[in-house]
A and B are shown apart, each in its own frame.
Chain A
Amino acid sequence: SQKIEQNSEALNIQEGKTATLTCNYTNYSPAYLQWYRQDPGRGPVFLLLIRENEKEKRKERLKVTFDTTLKQSLFHITASQPADSATYLCALGRGSSASKIIFGSGTRLSIRP
């Protein structure tokens, strides 16, 4: 069955360092991959989308890579700040049908001052 794994339940990073989160998938060939941020008690907020024919996407301090051979996406936050502390979710999809959307369970990121 289709499966998404995000690297760990929690990640602690010193402020200023680069945080790297991993999203691995099996038994699936996504056409798109999205990353969301979720704060406690709030809904997910869309951050970035990357397509299967794109290797890398950037937005300010965020960078996403998509390796369809390794079946993996990496999400980087450079110059991390305590305000970046949140849970980050990856979501995969194929085709135009939203029913193919699969979310990971997220990685809780904590940036310590």
Chain B
Amino acid sequence: DTAVSQTPKYLVTQMGNDKSIKCEQNLGHDTMYWYKQDSKKFLKIMFSYNNKELIINETVPNRFSPKSPDKAHLNLHINSLELGDSAVYFCASSPAQGLDQPQHFGDGTRLSIL
């Protein structure tokens, strides 16, 4: 009965590979997000979708491509992985757009690039 679940929890891969991270929320929320948490623990927003529609696309390399097949799912595909992509990636959801909406986070995917 996990509210926001993302898989895999750990991802270890080599530079240059392509990988995907999946996220699902069972809260009935309209808005979903991807965040990156770097080694200094700063959380930075990458993308936001509202009802399957992209509404925020921060300055992120175009090697990162989100896909939302329905409003309960937001997946993240990363092409040509680089060393600097190593981080923890968090998926989150909120009832609607706007910072006055509490965000519900998944437990993160720790991506390590060898």
Contact = CB atoms under 8 A, between A and B. Distances in A.
A43 B107 contact: yes
B98 A96 contact: yes
A86 to B, nearest CB: 13
Contacts of A44: 43, 90, 103, 105
A94 B90 CA distance: 22
B99 A98 contact: yes
B43 A98 contact: no
Nearest 10 A/B pairs, CB to CB: A93-B99, A43-B105, A46-B102, A103-B43, A96-B98, A105-B41, A99-B56, A32-B99, A98-B48, A44-B105
Contacts, number: 70
Nearest to B102: A46
B108 A42 contact: yes
B19 interface: no
B4 interface: yes
Interface of A: 31-32, 34, 41-46, 49, 51, 87, 89, 91-101, 103-106
Nearest to B45: A101
Contact of B97 (A43, A49, A98, A105): A98
Interface in B45-103: 45, 48, 55-56, 58, 90, 92, 97-100, 102-103
A86 B102 CA distance: 19
A14 to B, nearest CB: 25
Nearest to B38: A105
Interface in B8-28: none
28 contacts: A31-B99, A34-B102, A42-B108, A43-B4, A43-B90, A43-B105, A46-B102, A46-B104, A87-B41, A89-B43, A91-B43, A92-B99, A93-B99, A95-B98, A95-B99, A97-B56, A97-B97, A98-B97, A98-B98, A99-B48, A99-B58, A100-B99, A101-B45, A101-B99, A103-B42, A104-B42, A105-B41, A105-B42
Contact of A99 (B40, B45, B92, B104): B45
A48 to B, nearest CB: 9
Contacts of A46: 102-104
